[in-house]
Amino acid sequence: MKDHHRRNSLKGIAIREGNVDLKGCEAQSRSNPSPRHFSPVRVSKDRIIRRLAGVRPYRPEGFVVKREQFEEKVVVHNYGHGGGGLSLSWGTAHLAMEEALAAGGSSCAVLGCGAVGLATAILMQKKGWKVTIYAKDLPPETTSNVAGGQWTPTSVYSPDEVTPAFRIQFCRASRLAYGYFQALVGDYYGVRWTENFWFEDKPFELPDFFAELSDLYQDLREVSPEEHPFPRRYGYRFTTPQIETPHYLNAILRDYRCAGGNIVVKTFHEPADLRVLPEAVVINCTGLGSKTLFDDSTLRPVKGQLTFLQPQPEIDYILTADQAQLYMMPRRDGILLGGSFEDDVSDLQPTAEFEERVIAGHRELFNALE
């Protein structure tokens, strides 16, 4: 699935030998009159400060937001966000909130305390509901804490396997999430706007949703080789929110608690375990946990590893290259280097092999700037 995944993650908007084929996307194609300055990332092994790995809760058919009945309980599912769960969190939380409100009541249980569970719990609180989160692990021990923090709903589904109804749901969730994150820009939540660059050696296509969500990528445009020093001929630029993930999760966890939210550390093994809950409405935000808890065999772990270098506050852009096998995000807690999508791999052990590749790859990219 690795190649399949990458291939599918690069469809939609194509550069063809220097021309942008926007396939209906109304992105701007004007040339940039004043090339920006790119401060170089200093890539070397002796600057590594930590390494970690996580597993994306990936479903080729896309995330699940739906309501169903389990005995006396109404269960609203909200899981399976793949590589875009941080980005989509407030969006699918909004969809799940609508389902829960339609069920009626004034209190609910939220299963899971990652980005998706917390956003869902807070939206229910804002509707005046009493909310209790039940979760096996809390931040910083969630997959959400591993998310790099680029706002882009990428690697969420396989384009060949989604239904038209899912695409509508996906676009709505993306637009909602984009709106919610704009309200969080600032130091308290650790959200800011950042310029993104994506470079390749060959003509390439951006993921298909860039065209469908062109209103969220209004300044998307092609970048010519004269505009940047990186050793790649083809490129795009666009601006997105960027999230300082650990800082952000702490902030929304604080918000949830300050609004009177309870948290109970608890593991659920099967749907029958829900019977003990006092709440009649249960919102399931267990991410990959839904694979066993709700027996969803379409959900699978896609491992991603990150290597952090010492922080460089002067780096003010996100860089992606080589079919996302290399990416760099500047964060306050370090320069994040990533670029791995290992399908059906669930161990959380960082590997030396990844680190060698990602350090060598980024060194080659940034050496050109020195």
Ligand X SMILES: Cc1cc2nc3c(=O)[nH]c(=O)nc-3n(C[C@H](O)[C@H](O)[C@H](O)COP(=O)(O)OP(=O)(O)OC[C@H]3O[C@@H](n4cnc5c(N)ncnc54)[C@H](O)[C@@H]3O)c2cc1C
Positions in the binding site for ligand X (CB under 6 A) = 54-57, 79, 81-87, 111-117, 135-137, 142-144, 146-150, 267-268, 285-289, 293, 304, 306, 338
Between 15 and 153, CB nearer to ligand X:
153
Q: Which residues 6+ apart lie within 8 Å of 94 measured at CB?
A: 123, 173, 176, 177, 180
Q: How far is the CB of 138 from ligand X (least distance, A)?
A: 6
Here the tokens at position 24 are 């209906």
Between 15 and 147, CB nearer to ligand X:
147
Between 15 and 78, CB nearer to ligand X:
78
| 3 state SS of 205 | strand
Which H or E run contains 49?
Answer: strand 48-58
Between 22 and 81, CB nearer to ligand X:
81
Closest CA to 81 of 170, 167, 191, 209: 170
Between 22 and 86, CB nearer to ligand X:
86
Q: What separation in angstroms does the CA of 125 have from each of 121, 262, 323?
A: 6, 11, 40
Q: How far is the CB of 345 from ligand X (least distance, A)?
A: 11
Q: How far is the CB of 275 from ligand X (least distance, A)?
A: 14
Q: How far is the CB of 45 from ligand X (least distance, A)?
A: 20
Sheet holding 64-70, edge to edge: 64-70, 73-79, 281-284, 107-111, 130-135, 262-265
Longest CA pairwise span in the chain (Å)? 64
Which residue, judged by CB position, is nearest to ligand X in the bound state?
Answer: 289
Q: How far is the CB of 145 from ligand X (least distance, A)?
A: 7
